[in-house]
Amino acid sequence: MDPIIQVEDLTFGYTGELFLRDVAFAVMPGEFVGIIGANGTGKSTLLKLLLGELEPQRGSIRLWGQAAHHFRDWPRIGYVPQSSAATAAGFPASALEVVTANLYASVGPMRLPGKQHRQAALQALAAVGLEDCARSRIGELSGGQLQRVMLARALVAKPRALLLDEPASGVDSASADGMYLLLQRLNGEGITVVMVTHDLSRAAGFLGRALCLEHGTMVELDREQMAHELEHRHKHP
Amino acid sequence: MDIFQFEFMRRAFIAGMLLAVIIPCIGLVVVLRRLSMIGDALSHSSLAGVAAGLLMGWDPVIGAIAAAVLAALGMEGIRKRFPRHAELSVAVVMSAGVGLAGTLSGFVGGAANFNSFLFGSIVAISDLEMVLVLGVSAVVILAVLLLYKELFFVSFDERAARLAGVPVGFVNFVFVILTALTVSIAARTVGALIVSSMMVLPVACGMQLGRSYRSTLLYSILFALGFTAAGLFLSYYNRGLRAGATIVLVGVASLVGVFVFKGLWGRIRGTRHG
């Protein structure tokens, strides 16, 4: 089976100083992987590299065998951004409109979505438990609900993999656990999940393995190693 | 109503109503993407085109359109050259526009014609200008309808729009050109100094009432139509009032009214459910 994401000898820096050095990992279909790191360790930069927005100085990033910078089949990857309640508060859009927007590829350029597209969007909202909020203005939703709307937006295009940026950021503990359980369910249905987060302690119970960024390099932890790492942190805060 | 027995007022209403439809179509995206300064930059650049047109003997509206489109292309060029400092493009173009307008206006004989573009002269639209208003309105309405969902998605989340396959660069380019066309045409009616206010005020009112992007756009257009009609009526029956400035003041008063109404309505609902 070929990997969905293959990163080899990835080296990158914004100016002269290198930010990421010789990072290498692969994500296989069906995995639930976390990219873990504290603030400033390069998680967002790695995310931009994976999304083809930046080119590495050295090394390669391949998505389904294609170089990320030339990859065009992005609807295969459902991208869930770190939601910002502050940004959403002022934007006059309903949850249904936000989700339907991601059906661009199926609607086609310079056309308006039809009834079947709105139906697909409603189904995506139902999959995340928000069918009753379809007509709600996104600024009126809680942080957890807004994050689920972003997830529904990604799911509506029927991606084969999800790439999430801090999905539990800015939400309460119950909502964060609810989001992770939802992702675990989607993973069980065959969707590969790659989640960028700074919070290993909360996410560890859901991940198959963790890719930890520290000082520009990456260390891979399986479940046993994650448990050991958390125990070590607990004893030596 | 004797207001409509005059040809110039009928023209003013037709032009005003068309602009009241297209300005919020552009204004909503401008506000949501926090690009309000672009309206100012393009309207000031259009003044330079007006002055150049008057000096060269062209219709000043054509000069305004040409200058605004060139300014829009200039902004896109600077933004591509310096992607990390995109806001510089607006500042550079605005500075160039204001400087050129100020310099060229000094050579324009008959300052009244140039000054009419500062605060607008909707009641003195020529046949050519009327054709341009009709043409630009048709182009903007068609483009906004065709690119409705693209403009929405790019305004909400440009990165996700790109990943979904939206040609973000093309949409941004077309939008800047549409903004240039709208601003340059509106400079003739409501005035270059007031255009950016007309882009913002109906949208600000619409955002207080709209519960979706579509309803916000529709409300914005309705508010713009109302401001324009009220402003034209008030300026007709009070000869000292300039139409463009009156339209904007009606807009400001309406925005205050909407805020007050929303506040009172919220208190009444709170009392009922309390």
| Run of H or E including B47 | helix B36-56
Q: Which among B32, B146, B216 is the nearest to A110, CB-wise?
A: B146
Question: Does B165 contact A113 at a Cβ distance shorter than 8 Å?
Answer: no
Q: What is the pLDDT of residue B135?
A: 95
Interface check B173 vs A, CB under 8 A: no
Task: Please give the DSSP secondary-structure letter assigned to residue B103.
Answer: H
Helix (H) or strand (E) holding A10: strand A5-12
Whether residue B157 lies within 8 A of chain A, CB to CB, comes out as yes
With CB atoms and an 8 Å threshold, state whether A90 touches B212. Answer: no
Beta strand pairing call for A161-165 and A192-197: parallel
Instruction: Please state, in angstroms and rounded to a whole number, the distance separating the CA atoms of residues B113 and B154.
Output: 39
Q: How far is B207 from chain A (nearest CA, A)?
A: 6
Of B162, B165, B213, the CB nearest to A93: B213
Torsion of CA B230, B231, B234, B236, to 10 degrees: -120
Q: Which residue has the tokens 């401001």?
A: B227
Question: Is residue B149 over pLDDT 80?
Answer: yes
pLDDT in tens, B105-136: 888 776 667 777 887 888 778 888 899 999 99
Q: Residue B225: in which H helix or E strand, if any?
A: helix B213-237
Distant-in-sequence contacts of B257-261, Cβ < 8 A, 24+ apart: B258/B205, B258/B208, B258/B209, B259/B208
**pLDDT band, residue B91 (cuts 50/70/90):** confident
pLDDT band at B148 (very low <50, low <70, confident <90, very high): very high
pLDDT per residue as tens digits for the range B18-28: 999 999 999 99
Q: How many beta carbons lie within 10 A of that of residue B261, not counting itself?
A: 12
Q: Are A6 and A62 in contact, with CB atoms under 8 Å apart?
A: yes
Are B214 and A81 an interchain contact pair (Cβ–Cβ within 8 Å)?
A: no
Contact B149 A51 (CB under 8 A): no
Task: Say if the Cβ atoms of A101 and B152 lie within 8 Å.
Answer: yes
pLDDT, tens digit only, all 237 positions of chain A: 889 999 999 998 887 777 788 899 999 999 999 998 887 888 888 988 898 888 888 899 999 999 888 888 888 999 998 876 666 778 999 999 999 999 999 999 989 999 999 999 999 999 999 999 999 999 999 888 999 999 999 999 999 999 999 888 878 888 888 889 999 999 999 999 999 988 888 888 888 899 988 888 888 888 888 777 777 776 666
Cβ distance A75 to B163 less than 8 Å, yes or no, reads yes
Tokens 């045409």 sit on residue = B185
Tell me which residue of B52, B77, B42, B2 sits closest to B186, measured CA to CA: B42
Residues of A in contact with B146 (CB under 8 A): 110
Predicted local distance difference test score (pLDDT) of residue B4 = 83
Least Cα separation, residue A166 to chain B (angstroms): 16
Number of Cβ atoms within 10 Å of the Cβ of A112: 12
Distance from CA of A163 to the nearest CA of B (A): 12
What average pLDDT does the segment B1-9 reach? 82
Q: What is the pTM of this model?
A: 0.89
CB A217 within 8 Å of CB A23? yes
Q: Cβ of A109 and B150 within 8 Å?
A: yes
Distance from CA of A97 to the nearest CA of B (A): 8
Q: Of A150-154, B65-69, B208-212, B240-244, which gets the smallest average pLDDT? A: B240-244
Phi-psi label, residue B121: left if phi above 0, alpha if psi -120 to 50, beta otherwise: beta
